[in-house]
A and B are shown apart, each in its own frame.
Chain A
Amino acid sequence: MRKPPLPAKGAVTGNKRFRGTRAAQLVPDARLAGPMPWVIAIMIALTVIAAAGGLALSNLVSDARADLAGGVTVQIVEASAPERDAQVRRAARVLEQDSAVRAVRIVPEAELEALLEPWLGAGVQNEAVPMPALIDLRLRGSADAATLQRLRGKLREVAPAARLDAQSAWLGPVFSAITSLLWLAAALVVLLAVTSAAAVWLAARSALGGNRPTIEIVHLLGGTDSQIARIFQRSVAFDAMLGGAVGLLLGLAAILLLGQQFARVDSGMVAGGGLHWQDWLLLAAVPLCGVGIAVLTARLTILAALRRML
């Protein structure tokens, strides 16, 4: 019998990393099998849509808030046209002189008619339906109660028919409804993340189960927990990236479609609810977070299973 060959000594004591394709070959079934990339894709798409909705709403709220914060509307409801015009002029003059007021604009009658046209029909007769006059005020600060009260007092003397309201006041309930929606969107994003992690956990466990003999061998040959975990992380990352990319595309397609629909609704409020470039960056980060969650979950699952071996 020939002498056995002598591999280079030091081979066994080396502790470099065992990774890359060589390591991945060990567990051909470690790829999250079958439906997993699709589950991840759907999760990512839903997350992207929920996040986009939340971001758009939050933009809408902050745009509208800024718009309305210093906005005050004065209505003068007076049946007699000459008297109404006189009160409007007096009220405008008094308001212009107030230090809290930045700008005063008497809303032209034509604009009012255009506003009311859908409800009252074209060429509405002034006498048939008495139209209120509107004055649009911009305050320097926000429309707090004290300022409003003071302005009301001033107006009472010169224009008894005037009614003064902060624009934010009548939108208050709308804002709180939208804020609830925002919380809902945030909760959805969190729930989706947890569900995705759970799905990956289950998949990683089944991949682990199918490869347990191989894992045990590598373990007994002196493979470290990290080495073995890395093999799985690699294939899970691959699947998650695939699912994430598909999910992002699906999500973005849905958002763009919805965006077009809303763009057709010619409303000042919805127009404020667009997405800024930071928001698009955030949305693009969603699949990256997904990959991160998947890889971390896979790693923790594998490490936990390995700790049960000596």
Chain B
Amino acid sequence: MSSAPGDIVRFDNVGLRYGTDREVLSDVSFTLYPGSFYFLTGASGAGKTSLLKLLYLAQRPSRGVVSMFGTDTVTLPRSRLPGFRRRIGVVFQDFRLVPHLSAYDNVALPLRVSGVREDDLHMPVSDMLDWVGLSERAQARPASLSGGEQQRVAIARAVIGRPELLVADEPTGNVDPEMALKLLRLFDSLNRLGTTVVVATHDVHLLRKVPESLIMRLDKGRLSDPTGALRYPPRREPVPGSQAVP
């Protein structure tokens, strides 16, 4: 099934079950439009992480169609998936930094995987570390970083490759409210540069902090559209000079 050229992600009647258990996600259908900012909310255990796993291609659905960047990824051969993954930035709930690599090397990892030359790599990685306020800790290993610092390394790594889609799983879960707000602003400014952002959170207070955000609510594996915004999204104007949105 092909999707309209305007959307970046499209789920059609997606169901997911682990093994032979009951379905963790049922009849999930939605479309993500480029340049929008989405919150994915729901109680703990509602299936937020599971839905994000489908989004960042760590999991195939048990049924239904998951279409990314206009391509049905369910029938796509395994060998074509890495190319799609490189267009997606992920902030994992548990950060998943590589323990024996410095903050610098962790942030550089996506670029190295993509085959960027070492000469072309130094500037963007340093800039990115500077941006998340970690220039001083560039050579530190994750174990010697605080939770908030690890969080920022994880975010820097997720956005360094300038992904078209940014997926963050409870990115404010381990930090104080002040840091949570800072991180949200960070996602917001990325979003204004054209990146489509999906942030999963069970913290409803967060939703109000990004005024133009759209809300997807999961309840026991079923998606509701409380604001109707998933069907009729208000368009958001990108900042001039930012990434062009097709």
Q: Which residues of A contact B (CB under 8 A)?
A: 1-9, 11-18, 22-23, 25-26, 28, 213-214, 216-218, 220-225, 227, 307, 309-310
Q: Pick the contact of A310: B78, B112, B193 (CB < 8 A).
A: B78
Q: Pick the contact of A5: B85, B98, B128 (CB < 8 A).
A: B128
The CA-CA distance from A225 to B79 in the complex, in Å, is: 8
- Inside 8 A of B87's CB, which chain A residues have their CB? 12-13
Q: Pick the contact of B186: A4, A9, A213 (CB < 8 A).
A: A4
Indicate whether B15 reaches chain A with its CB closer than 8 angstroms. Answer: no
Name 8 extra pairs, CB < 8 A, besides A4-B189, A221-B110: A3-B193, A5-B131, A12-B114, A13-B83, A23-B112, A214-B99, A220-B90, A222-B86
Per-position binary interface string of chain B over residues 81-124, scored 1 when its CB falls under 8 Å from any chain A CB and 0 otherwise:
11111110010000011111100010001111111101010001
Indicate whether B137 reaches chain A with its CB closer than 8 angstroms. Answer: no
Check A14–B82 contact: CB distance below 8 A.
no
- Inside 8 A of B59's CB, which chain A residues have their CB? 310
Check A12–B78 contact: CB distance below 8 A.
no
For window 185-237 of chain B, which residues contact chain A by CB distance below 8 Å?
185-186, 189-190, 193
Check A5–B124 contact: CB distance below 8 A.
yes
- CB closest chain-A residue, reference B110: A221
Check A7–B100 contact: CB distance below 8 A.
no
The CA-CA distance from A6 to B78 in the complex, in Å, is: 30
Check B189–A15 contact: CB distance below 8 A.
no
- CB closest chain-B residue, reference A6: B162
Check B115–A222 contact: CB distance below 8 A.
no
List 18 A-B pairs, Cβ < 8 Å: A5-B124, A7-B111, A7-B162, A11-B120, A11-B124, A12-B114, A12-B162, A12-B163, A13-B83, A13-B86, A14-B115, A17-B115, A18-B114, A213-B99, A220-B58, A221-B85, A221-B157, A310-B60
Distance (whole angstroms) from the CB of A106 to the closest CB of chain B: 80
Which interface residue of B90, B99, B161 has the most chain A CB atoms within 10 A? Answer: B161
Distance (whole angstroms) from the CB of A94 to the closest CB of chain B: 81
Distance (whole angstroms) from the CB of A10 to the closest CB of chain B: 9
- Inside 8 A of A9's CB, which chain B residues have their CB? 162, 243
